């Protein structure tokens, strides 16, 4: 097999400082790494070795190389397998043992997750991590063991998105779709349209808004049946937003939720803003749009990009359960039909689980 050699170069520089000159114990370990293209990278030693935690240490850079290499190798093997990938996320851990004579990396563990466009291919997509690991240039070059821990993740119908602040919804997961009506022929649609026309005519007669005219009622029924047969299309359905009462319902839901957040100092501290008003408005606009109402949220804020922007926040099981408890209490103040209540709660439960990023 023909091999091709590639060369890479960079420059790293360290300088002493008058305030803490080398070799005094407190000398600074700050390093600047430069390469043509990406520019500067600020490096230092790890904290146990008197480095600056605001800068990248060599161990982190080594782990970053392993993680990035795995992602890129995975995209290659998935492409070869003709599997369309929506997202890959890899968490990495590295162990270093150090002593008087020096130290060395003794092992690394990668925790990769993948979301694919076709949920039916999720099991196959998980299997490809082994092939990606064998392809990774960096993994093939190190002399310490690397372990892959691929979780048994639930393949979601669509990749969740997360908002720029905790005031936005926990996660964006599409509501589950109900089964479409049977469409073996146009006869079912015709009968349905005819039945609706008869029911409407009967209602109008009872209300006194239409005179007793059997011929007119029959003609209405026939016209509706003919129209349904021609279009072979189901009757227009209202959105979930309209079914639950529109904007007032979501305004009340979100307000009741944030009243509880305001009363819980520990949970409120997770929000970056002291005034919860803007967060309340963001969540209100998002839920209105998500469930089928006006698209003011997207017009004002664009695409949510929820997950990436929530990553700086530590959301553990306790925070998730607190969020759900507040939302459940808020939902209990609404006059929702049982089916609507269950649909909304199912979404919030799935969303909260997807949001958690800490054990």
Q: Average pLDDT over the chain, rounded to whole?
A: 80
Give the residue-averaged pLDDT of 282-304: 85
Quick check: 89 and 116 in contact, CB under 8 A?
no
> Concatenated DSSP letters for 225-269?
HHHHHHH--PPP---HHHHTTSHHHHHHHHHHHHHHHHT-HHHHT
The percentage of the chain sitting over the pLDDT mark of 90, rounded to a whole number, equals 46
The yes-or-no verdict on residue 180 having pLDDT over 70 is no
Task: Spell 102-124 as b/e; 16+ CB within 10 A means b.
Answer: eeebeebbbebebbbeeeebbee
Q: How far apart are CA 157 and CA 116, in angstroms?
A: 9
pLDDT of 48-66, one tens digit each?
888 999 999 999 999 999 9
Tokens of 24: 């005094």
Lowest mean pLDDT among 106-120, 186-200, 207-221, 238-252: 207-221
pLDDT band per the 50, 70, 90 thresholds, residue 222: low
- Which comes out higher in pLDDT, residue 38 or 232? 38
DSSP state of 48: G
> Concatenated DSSP letters for 166-195?
TTS-S-B-PPPPPPPPP-SSSHHHHHHHHH
Q: How far apart are CA 119 and CA 27, in angstroms?
A: 54
Q: How far apart are CA 241 and CA 12, in angstroms?
A: 57
For residue 78, the SS3 value is helix
pLDDT band per the 50, 70, 90 thresholds, residue 204: low
Pick left, alpha or beta for residue 239 (phi over 0 → left; psi -120 to 50 → alpha; otherwise beta): beta
Strand partners, 99: 102
pLDDT of 61-93, one tens digit each?
999 999 999 999 999 999 999 999 999 999 999
pLDDT of 116-172, one tens digit each?
988 888 889 999 999 999 999 999 999 999 999 998 654 444 444 444 334 444 444
pLDDT band per the 50, 70, 90 thresholds, residue 3: confident
Lowest mean pLDDT among 127-141, 167-181, 335-349: 167-181
| Residue showing tokens 């002291």 | 274
Question: How far apart, in Å, are the Cα atoms of 201 and each of 216, 219, 228, 256?
Answer: 9, 11, 17, 42
| Residue showing tokens 């605001």 | 54
Q: How far apart are CA 194 and CA 235, in angstroms?
A: 12
All domains of the chain, ordered by start, with CATH?
A: 11-148 (3.30.300.20), 187-231 (no CATH), 240-355 (1.10.490.10)
Give the residue-averaged pLDDT of 3-11: 93
């Amino acid at each position: 097999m023909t091999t091709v050699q590639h060369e890479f170069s960079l420059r790293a520089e360290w300088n002493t400082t008058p305030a803490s000159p080398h070799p005094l114990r407190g000398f600074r370990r700050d390093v600047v790494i430069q390469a043509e293209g990406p520019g500067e990278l600020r490096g230092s030693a790890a904290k146990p070795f008197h480095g600056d935690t605001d800068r990248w240490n060599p161990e982190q850079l080594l782990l970053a190389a392993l993680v990035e290499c795995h992602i890129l190798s995975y995209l290659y093997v998935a492409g070869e397998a003709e599997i369309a990938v929506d997202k890959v996320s890899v968490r990495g851990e590295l162990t270093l043992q150090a002593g008087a004579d020096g130290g060395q990396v003794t092992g690394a563990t990668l925790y990769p997750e993948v979301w694919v466009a076709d949920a039916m291919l999720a099991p196959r997509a998980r299997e490809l991590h082994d092939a990606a690991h064998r392809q990774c240039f960096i993994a093939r070059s190190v002399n310490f063991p690397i372990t892959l821990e691929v979780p048994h993740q639930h393949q979601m119908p669509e990749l969740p998105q997360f908002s720029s602040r905790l005031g936005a919804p926990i996660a964006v997961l599409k509501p589950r779709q109900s089964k479409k009506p049977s469409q073996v022929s146009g006869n079912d649609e015709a009968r349905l349209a005819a039945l609706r026309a008869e029911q409407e005519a009967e209602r109008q007669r009872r209300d006194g808004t239409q005179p007793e005219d059997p011929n007119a009622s029959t003609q209405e029924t026939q016209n509706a049946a003919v129209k349904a047969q021609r279009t072979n299309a189901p009757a227009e359905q209202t959105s979930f937003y309209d079914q639950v009462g529109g904007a007032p319902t979501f305004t009340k839901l979100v307000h009741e939720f944030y009243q509880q957040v305001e009363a819980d100092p520990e949970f409120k501290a997770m929000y970056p803003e002291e005034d919860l008003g803007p967060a309340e408005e963001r969540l209100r606009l998002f839920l209105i749009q998500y469930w089928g109402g006006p698209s003011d949220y997207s017009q004002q804020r664009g695409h949510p990009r929820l997950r990436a922007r929530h990553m700086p926040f530590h959301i553990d099981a306790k925070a998730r359960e607190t969020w759900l408890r507040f939302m459940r209490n808020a939902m209990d103040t609404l006059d929702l039909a049982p089916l609507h209540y269950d649909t909304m709660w199912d979404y919030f439960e799935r969303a909260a689980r997807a949001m958690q990023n800490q054990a």
